[in-house]
Chains A and B, each alone.
Chain A
């Protein structure tokens, strides 16, 4: 099954790349873009039945740096397996 992991910078952490992207969008005339924060999206194939806690552990230990980043995990078929997460 598929795990989708979204990693974003915490509020208050400077994001120079997001700023540059925002600036470039403005230069292209997309004035509607008011703020840009850049993050990471990781798509992972995990063994069927992998509990959410296990994927969260991967985030805590490697995929995200929780000093500066937040993460959100989406698991395929999680409700069907009766997990309490999300």
Chain B
């Protein structure tokens, strides 16, 4: 699996993402600056967590209009695989690649801890290595992770199996406890929890590693 990690001014999980991808896929991902307008020929594009542009205006809003995001949009339409984590998920909604929006956490607190997640859909390339309905623990670290979409959109997400991860506990006020969704075609996943932070037993667990293993299996 060849991959690329897009780096924005204010990204701070880009190197963790690169390490996770390298550990699992065996090859170093290419780091691509947001000001580039073309993507390298890779199987997976990762939008990392962080605070791009200081979260000014709205989280992910300015990054979503970076030159590279036009290429990411085209790649999504071509069916290439895209993973957006935390700030990356916020960018994907701001860019209109995924539906809905991420609002300020309902409790107003920045939430930074391990949370339990249910794997709602194990039939995606991102979740192949999980069992459907399995409970896993992955850390979150965000201030704006409160997923919002109108009722029709939420119902459509449910009906189409687009809800991939749900929180197993109260975290941020997300509607229907949504922690991660995919697009209709299934090649784009956005999630607030950080799988790249749990890829080694020495660092507390490997529940995140399996996401990358599933991808590597699909995309190799």
Q: Which A residues form the contact surface with B (CB < 8 A)?
A: 13-14, 16-17, 20, 61-63, 65, 67-68
Contact = CB atoms under 8 A, between A and B. Distances in A.
Given A61-B65, A68-B148, A13 B57 contact: no
10 contacts: A13-B148, A16-B106, A17-B104, A62-B57, A62-B65, A63-B57, A67-B99, A67-B148, A68-B101, A68-B103
Interface in B53-88: 57-58, 61-62, 65
A14 B57 contact: no
B149 A16 contact: no
A68 B104 CA distance: 12
Given A17-B104, A67-B149, A62 B61 contact: yes
B161 interface: no
Given A16-B173, A62-B57, A67 B103 contact: no
B61 A13 contact: no
Contacts of B100: 67
B35 interface: no
Contacts of B57: 62-63
Given A62-B57, A62-B65, A67-B93, A16 B108 contact: yes
Contacts of A17: 104, 108
A61 B58 CA distance: 13
A62 B26 CA distance: 38
Given A14-B173, A16-B106, A67-B100, 7 more contacts: A14-B103, A14-B148, A16-B107, A17-B104, A62-B57, A63-B57, A68-B148
A67 B148 CA distance: 9
B94 interface: yes
Given A62-B61, A63-B57, A20 B106 contact: no
B105 interface: yes
B124 interface: no
Q: Among the interface residues A14, A16, A20, which one has the most CB atoms of the partner chain B within 10 A?
A: A16
Given A61-B65, A65-B94, A67-B93, A13 B149 contact: no
A14 B173 CA distance: 9
B116 interface: no
B134 to A, nearest CB: 30
A44 B80 CA distance: 39
